[in-house]
């Protein structure tokens, strides 16, 4: 149980690190604007914007995912102690809800 708890904490830290590396966006980005500059036939510089598909997670995915993995780790650590099993079940349930919320936010980023 303790090994799974440590893995869960590592996944929570990894998700937070991914959010930091990708630019700390508030919402999940599925498209990114790419600006290019070109010179037209008259010598004027013209800017064109094209949209490139990307997936950069935002807080709408990162917070429930980090919380879910963190609570899952806490629940697994508490399950290894037989005295605190009731608290562990609550933490596991909240962790599962957090991860479901993260998955739902990620699906909504693609659908809507």
* Residue pLDDT, tens place only, 8-44: 999 999 999 999 999 888 888 888 889 999 888 888 8
Query: What's 81's DSSP letter?
Result: S
Q: What is the pLDDT of residues 71-80, one digit of tens each?
A: 888 888 877 7
Identify the pLDDT of residue 17: 94
Three-class secondary structure of residue 64 per DSSP? helix
Query: Residues near 7 by Cβ (< 8 Å), separated by ≥ 6?
Result: none
Rounded to 5 degrees, φ, ψ at 36 are -130, 145
Beta-ladder partners of 49 = 35
> Domain extents for the chain?
2-25+57-111
* Alpha-carbon gap, residue 21 to 107, rounded angstroms: 21
What is the separation of C-alpha 103 from the centre of its chain, rounded to a whole number of angstroms?
9
Q: pTM of the entire structure?
A: 0.68
* Predicted local confidence at residue 43, as pLDDT: 82
pLDDT at 112 > cutoff 60: no
């Amino acid at each position: 149980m303790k090994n799974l708890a440590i893995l869960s904490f590592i996944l929570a830290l990894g998700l937070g690190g991914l959010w930091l590396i990708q630019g700390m966006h508030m919402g999940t980005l599925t498209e990114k604007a790419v600006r290019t500059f070109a010179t037209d036939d008259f010598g004027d510089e013209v800017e064109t914007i094209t949209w490139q598909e990307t997936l950069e997670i935002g807080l709408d995915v990162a917070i429930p995912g980090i919380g879910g993995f963190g609570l899952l780790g806490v629940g697994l650590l508490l399950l290894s102690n037989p005295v605190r099993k009731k608290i562990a079940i609550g933490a596991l349930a909240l962790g599962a809800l957090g991860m479901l919320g993260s998955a739902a936010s990620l699906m909504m980023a693609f659908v809507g």
